[in-house]
Amino acid sequence: MFRSLLFIPGNNPSMLQNADIFMSDGIIFDLEDAVDINEKDNARNLVETYLLTTKDLPKTIVLRINPVNSLFIEDDLQLLMTRKIDYILLPKSNMISLYVLDNTLSFLERKNNFKKIKLICLIEEAKAVNEVEEIAKHTRVEGLLLGAEDLTNELEVERTTVGNEIMYARSKVIFACAANQIIAIDTPFTDISDEEGLEYDCSNAKALGMKAKTAIHPSQLDIINQVFSPTKKMIKWAQSVVKTYEKTGKGVFQYENKMIDKPVIEKAKKIIEKAKTFDLL
């Protein structure tokens, strides 16, 4: 469970060294878009050294590999030998690339006695949006990350703060994740100087059903974490609802002039679980 994931280019040693102190719930070590083709080996080596030599690693580590049809994929996956990676982030996800990666990972798991390697799929192409329900059903997939920049580029539309141009894709990702009980992760907000725009984007995404958001700069993390955390008011309400439920033992009861039943009780329990996970209690 997380609210925020921070992208760190694999070839940026200063950010790598500070990865454990950033206020994100997890780090995405990027070997793909953020790394020039001539820097791929260097990025991979820096990330490997960091994972093998750092004592206090971030709580969640995600490795963004290069596409499965690239020349770099075999070397990228060798970083799994560190046994420090929690998720692989698959770029250009679709059912074909997911099938190819699944077979490769199954081989590596058998060969190296790995536990099952979990995936987050990057939904950044129209083809992926159309296949998103099937992608979300795959047993390896633990989350979907919307990639709005590549998607709007393919659609030849302007990326805006309001976000109407990605409403359909956002909704598809959210519903596919909810139906399969995996996490819906929102696209980065690329203007690191626009805090007001970031807060609006986060609030809009959360209202639609996104559960977390990616960041491209540490300065964005405070707003992202704040928006995607349950508020003090929500936590207090949830605690009272659960306490009343446990005290009365009734599946349906009245609280603050409203009827409380099973779905509302489950919602309250989820809020408390998040509050505990994010050290808000």
Instruction: Please give the pLDDT value at position 251.
Output: 84
DSSP per residue, 154-197: HHT----SS-GGGHHHHHHHHHHHHHHT-EEEEPPP--TT-HHH
Host H or E run for residue 241: helix 232-248
Question: Which pLDDT score, from 0 to 100, does residue 257 have?
Answer: 86
Query: What's the confidence (pLDDT) of residue 249?
Result: 85
Q: Has this prediction a pTM greater than 0.85?
A: yes
Give me the pLDDT at residue 64, please: 98
Cα–Cα separations (whole angstroms), residue 106 to 24, 65, 102, 120, 134: 30, 17, 6, 16, 19
- 3-state SS assignment for residue 45: helix
Task: Please say whether the beta carbons of 44 and 81 come within 8 A.
Answer: no
Task: Measure CA 4 to chain center.
Answer: 7
Domain boundaries, the chain: 4-227, 232-277
pLDDT given for residue 256 in this prediction: 87
Q: Which CATH number fits domain 4-227: 3.30.1540.10, 3.20.20.60, 2.40.440.10, 2.130.10.10?
A: 3.20.20.60
Q: What are the pLDDT tens digits along the chain (281 aa)?
A: 899 999 999 999 999 999 989 999 999 999 999 999 999 999 999 999 999 999 999 999 999 999 999 999 999 999 999 999 999 999 999 999 999 999 999 999 999 999 999 999 999 999 999 999 999 999 999 999 999 999 999 999 999 999 999 999 999 999 999 999 999 999 999 999 999 999 999 999 999 999 999 999 999 999 999 999 999 999 999 999 999 999 888 889 988 888 999 999 999 999 999 999 999 98
Q: What is the pLDDT of residues 85-132, one digit of tens each?
A: 999 999 999 999 999 999 999 999 999 999 999 999 999 999 999 999
Q: What distance in Å separates the CA atoms of residue 281 and residue 277, rounded to the nearest whole number?
A: 9
Distances (CA, A) of 6 to 20, 31, 89: 11, 14, 13
Q: Where are the beta strands (DSSP E) in the chain?
A: 4-9, 26-30, 61-64, 87-90, 118-123, 141-146, 183-186, 212-215, 253-255, 258-260
Query: What is the rounded distance in angstroms from the CA atom of residue 246 to the CA atom of residue 123?
Result: 41
Unique residue bearing structure tokens 């080596």: 45
